[in-house]
Amino acid sequence: MTNQVATNSFLAKLGIESINPGTSTGKDNFMDSNAEVKNIHSPVDGSLIGSIAYTTAEEYEKVVTKAEEAYQIWRKIPAPKRGEIVRQYGNLLREYKDALGRLVSFEMGKSLQEGLGEVQEMIDICDFAVGLSRQLHGLTMHSERPNHRMYEQWHPVGVVGIISAFNFPVAVWSWNSMLAAICGDVCIWKPSEKTPLSAVACQKLMARIIEENNLPEGLFCLINGDYKVGEWMSHDERIPLVSATGSVRMGKAVGSALAQRFGKALLELGGNNAIILTPNANLDLAMVGVLFGAVGTAGQRCTTTRRLIIHESIYEQVKEKLVKAYGQLTIGNPLESNLVGPLIDKAAVNAYLNAIEQLKKEGGKVLCGAEVLSGPGYESGCYVKPTICEAQNSYKIVQSETFAPILYLLKYSALEEAIALQNGVKQGLSSAIFTNHMQEAEEFLSAWGSDCGIANVNIGTSGAEIGGAFGGEKETGGGRESGSDAWKAYMRRQTNTLNFGKELPLAQGIKFDL
């Protein structure tokens, strides 16, 4: 069975036809006759997968209304019972893991292993959320007043808006929605307009759980469209929290709109991630981390390794190893065991080419790659060769994030210089150092070391685990998703003081003669 046929079979099994409703509240689908319809083509072979109807303003109002109604019911259901719903969804994902993983790979272009891995992340966050549903704890504090008890508790915020990016078309939604659900929130999801069919598939699976458990319509909602739909959500006072994953430009727009109305923003934006290689590094280990970090998902991860900071004593050796390794990469259909698949579309290809030209203008040198592939197997025009360049950290193109497999090699002489280079960009998502020297590792992890939200030793910049909070600093947005105490972002804190005495002591000894 071909990838196209397998994908269409999965879509048909879920009731997704050639023209798919772009708006859903879980049970009902809305289809406005005036809706704009967009065709979705696979970057793998350029074929038409299906079509999606964009959400209209009228549909959007129906969705938000349904979500508000569902929240009134959902927030009163005990958290462990909410966790049971998430558990059921995780089990359904296990059943459809292969089919959904293939759809993700075919629609987005990542390797099948990565597509399946993304669905596994969804399953893992469901498991995490189920356990968390019994651990939404607050603190108890000693009051300075006699016969008083003081404590804090956490309540759901309400309707949560989720804006996700094309590179992880389903996992990031689950990071947010599964945690938000056990917290008592309801969710409205706007997926990337480049990968909406994977989102529709996830919504269809969730619709089964909603129906089987007789849950309220509007608990999990889906809206499709371009940036305009994101603007509606960002400016909508009925949505107290918006979690947005994407570019820095998008994050600034969302964050600004939310700030104007005192809404909460959870932002996971761009990365310009670096790996430091010291003379004490195990280079065999490091090459694995560098290679996957730089070319995994064809360089379309926010945690992609974009800069490699190499000690001058091993620079030539590392450069030779990397160029040789890049020459052995297999590029092609990601569902056929190739290591590198296509970029998402031709706009991404143009960004790749422009970045290489800009590098040359600034004085950089291309060591390998820098080519768009054509011919049999590359008909979509979205396949490029992963590229290695020699550069300076000060180059304008190095300071920005290009969502493509371009790796910049930088040279350093002292660790303090390497850390300064690592921190010398506006983004602050992921970072790594390869060293077997304890002092070098500890300095990198210290308060004066990496300024990123993620700092690794002897592993690469990509490959975050569900148990840890994911996110970064500076222009990466400061948000945290997934594990640890990231659940608190989806709740509001309330401090409670309970007087069980027969007197009401006032501050500064004030008394009223009543």
Q: Which residues are catalytic?
A: 268, 302
Choose among 272, 249, 250, 269: nearest CA to 398: 272
Residue 143, helix vs strand vs coil: coil
Please state the φ and ψ torsions of residue 307, each to the nearest 5 degrees: -130, 135
Cα–Cα distances (Å) from 220 to 48, 65, 186, in that order, read 27, 12, 6
Q: 21 is written with which tokens?
A: 């409703």
**Residue environment code for 277-314, b if the CB has 16+ CB neighbours within 10 A, otherwise e:** bbebbeeeebbebbbbbbbbbbbbbbbbbbbbbbbeeb
Choose among 234, 195, 154: nearest CA to 489: 154
**Contact indicator for 105, 112 with CB cutoff of 8 Å:** yes
Choose among 218, 134, 222: nearest CA to 183: 134
Q: DSSP for 371-401?
A: -B--STT-TTS--B--EEEE--TTSHHHHS-
Q: 170 is written with which tokens?
A: 């389903």
Instruction: Sort strands 473-474 and 427-428 into parallel, antiparallel or unpaired.
Output: antiparallel
- Please give the Cα distance from 391 to 371 (Å, whole number): 18
**Contact indicator for 408, 307 with CB cutoff of 8 Å:** yes
Beta-strand (E) ranges in 206-269? 220-223, 241-245, 264-268
- Please give the Cα distance from 325 to 405 (Å, whole number): 14
- The angle subtended at Cα 121 by Cα 463 and Cα 191, nearest 5°, is 100
